[in-house]
Amino acid sequence: MITKRIIACLDVHDGRVVKGVQFVDLIDAGDPATQAARHTREGADEIVLLDITATHEGRQTLLDTVRRTARELFVPFCVGGGIRTADDAAQVFEAGADKVSVNSAALKNPKLIDAIGRSFGAQAVVVAIDARRDPDAADPVRDAQVYVQGGRKLAGRRVVEWAREAEQRGAGEILLTSMNSDGMRTGFDCELTAVVSEAVGIPVIASGGAGTVEHFVDVFGRGKADAALAASIFHFGVSSARSLKEELAKAGVSVRLPC
Amino acid sequence: MCVTVINYKAGNLTSVLKALRHLGAETIVTDGDLALVEAAERIVLPGVGHFQATDRLDATDLTGAIRTAIARGVPFLGICVGMQWLYAGSSEAPNQPGLGHFAESCTHFAESPEKVPHVGWNSLEVRKDSRLLAGVEPGEYVYFTHSYKAPVTADTAAVTYYIEPFASAVERGNVMGVQFHPEKSGATGLKILGNFLKWKDVE
């Protein structure tokens, strides 16, 4: 039986793992390679490394961080941040990533999704979407606004129509971050996640807001997520993927255990 | 121990090479050296992406070289599209023949409310005499990402259930294939790759 994935996310700034609240107030949370290895040992099903500095400072993803992190990692490894062209993606794959996540650059140039998919396969392209509910829209959830540049700027797209376009262009997965709940530890935005998951035929990874086991049970149930991303719940020894998954199994969620 | 890894420009070899080297194998990568392939000690054909990309194996005549090596008894492992290529073909690219080592063809998952591609960790129901999957216990998981799959037949070494039962591994003599990614399947995946590296003709 297919299991729900628990994905450890490392937000990386200047080669260090950081955690912020709603993309600001960053706190140092360790070395990416060490953290990735620890999360894998502790049962994470996948690792995502997002270079949160890359886009607005116009820098390349830190290839040596990727290389170092990938060296002894034998679970799926996705890298995002600052990937603007198929060549950027090729360098990240070469450094050891299995998937790349594209966000701002794909909104600016949607053909980037097609281009990476053609060269590396759809399974290698994750389209990351940062969305915030739009209280002024007729349907604030379905028409949630998409943001670029780490949540700094409106993209002028609505979440469902953009997710559908990404799928049509050959995205393999959607990584959906709710900016309303990111870093708040008050739970995932299950309505937003469910609306997007039902609108596309590809897996949706829910992100933003994890704080308790119940939040994960909720997003896999009501939120119809195929996978969930967690950063803060794993840092500072709050929990491990394994203990989280053991609790999820008790609540009837199918997860990879033992791991 | 040396593994010849075929590069047919379908996706990315880094992860496969890394895992093989981690297990102590020497790796040689080739995209068209036929003599090297014919003389190989072991062959791995990775592959992610579209079945059509395997046309490169025909264009470079790697297909013939692989056939020669297999006939000589060289252990061969196809991964993902590399496994599908061992069959007669795939409905993903109907005009592109596979190796035909296994007579059946690969097809897309049936229409269903479930998501396709099948992405994530799923379990294996292992055939008892499988040498490739020796030591894989019930309840161990491996990582999949694919939309096409091979049918369950007498050569199937493991069955996985998603929408319908399909062959997650195939094995007949020295020719083996896995639909999942052993290089991305943690300790279980490394165990399977290790079995392949230890595979010896028992005749």
pLDDT at A239: 75
- Shortest Cα–Cα distance, B187 to chain A (Å): 8
Architecture of domain A5-250 in this structure: Alpha-Beta Barrel (3.20)
Query: Which chain B residues are closer than 8 Å to A87 by Cβ?
Result: none
Query: Which chain B residues are closer than 8 Å to A95 by Cβ?
Result: 14
Query: B190 at the A interface (CB within 8 A)?
Result: yes
Query: For all residues of chain A together, what is the average pLDDT?
Result: 90
Query: B116 at the A interface (CB within 8 A)?
Result: yes
Q: What do you get for the CA distance between the two ends of chain B, in Å?
A: 20
Clarify whether A11 is annotated catalytic: yes
Average pLDDT over residues B66-83: 97
pLDDT at A259: 82
What percent of chain A shows pLDDT beyond 70? Answer: 92
Query: For all residues of chain B together, what is the average pLDDT?
Result: 95
Domain ranges of chain A: 5-250
Residue B117 to residue A203, Cβ atoms within 8 A: yes
pLDDT at B49: 78
- Shortest Cα–Cα distance, A101 to chain B (Å): 16
Alpha-carbon separation of residue A138 from A34, A135, A141, A142, A143 (angstroms): 46, 8, 9, 9, 8
pLDDT at A23: 56
Q: Is A111 helix (H, G, I), strand (E, B) or coil?
A: helix
Tally of CB atoms within 10 A around B41: 14
Contact B133, B123 (CB under 8 A): no
Residue B139 to residue A258, Cβ atoms within 8 A: yes
Is residue A21's pLDDT more than 90?
no
Clarify whether B181 is annotated catalytic: yes
pTM, 2 dp:
0.94
Is residue A229's pLDDT more than 70?
yes
Strand order in the sheet with B87-90: B87-90, B102-108, B148-149
Nearest to B161 among A1, A120, A124 (CB): A1
What percent of chain B shows pLDDT beyond 90? Answer: 91
Q: In this structure, what are the phi and psi dihedrals at residue B55, rounded to the nearest 5 degrees? A: -60, -25
Q: Is B11 left (phi over 0), alpha (psi -120 to 50) or beta?
A: left
The per-residue pLDDT for range A150-188, each reduced to its tens digit, is 788 999 999 999 999 999 999 999 999 999 998 788 999
Hey, which residues does A230 pair with through a beta bridge?
Answer: A8
The per-residue pLDDT for range B84-94, each reduced to its tens digit, is 999 999 999 99
Nearest to B48 among A74, A121, A227 (CB): A121
Q: Chain B neighbours among A 107-136 (CB < 8 Å)? A: 120-124
Query: B59 at the A interface (CB within 8 A)?
Result: no
Clarify whether B183 is annotated catalytic: yes
Nearest to B120 among A5, A71, A120 (CB): A5
Residue B48 to residue A70, Cβ atoms within 8 A: no
Q: Please give the CATH topology (third level) of the domain spanning B2-198.
A: Rossmann fold (3.40.50)
Q: To the nearest 10°, report the CA torsion of A166, B48, A36, A50.
A: -30
Nearest to A93 among B14, B139, B162 (CB): B14
Is residue A148's pLDDT more than 50?
yes
Hey, which residues does A15 pair with through a beta bridge?
Answer: none
Confidence bin at B9 (pLDDT 50/70/90):
confident
The per-residue pLDDT for range A195-219, each reduced to its tens digit, is 999 999 999 999 999 888 999 999 9
Tally of CB atoms within 10 A around A114: 18
Tally of CB atoms within 10 A around A42: 17
Average pLDDT over residues B132-146: 96
- Shortest Cα–Cα distance, A202 to chain B (Å): 6
Query: A253 at the B interface (CB within 8 A)?
Result: no
- Shortest Cα–Cα distance, A25 to chain B (Å): 33
Among A31, A51, A114, A130, which one carries the catalytic annotation?
A: A130
Contact A26, A56 (CB under 8 A): no
Q: Residue A148 is encoded by which pair of tokens?
A: 């670029």
Query: A162 at the B interface (CB within 8 A)?
Result: no
Q: In terms of pLDDT, which residue wins out, A64 or B30? A: B30
Residue A123 to residue B48, Cβ atoms within 8 A: yes
pLDDT at A58: 41
pLDDT at A54: 55
Nearest to B50 among A121, A173, A256 (CB): A121
Residue A173 to residue B123, Cβ atoms within 8 A: no
Confidence bin at A7 (pLDDT 50/70/90):
very high
**Quick one: which of A30, A102, A108, A103 has its CA closest to A69?**
A30
How many interface pairs between A and B have CB atoms less than 8 angstroms apart? Answer: 93
Confidence bin at A100 (pLDDT 50/70/90):
very high
Task: Report the C-alpha gap between A72 and B186 in whole angstroms.
Answer: 10
Domain ranges of chain B: 2-198
Tally of CB atoms within 10 A around B108: 13
Query: A220 at the B interface (CB within 8 A)?
Result: no
- B38 Cβ contact partners less than 8 Å away, ≥ 6 residues apart: B65, B68, B69, B72
Chain A residue closest to B115 (CA)?
Answer: A201
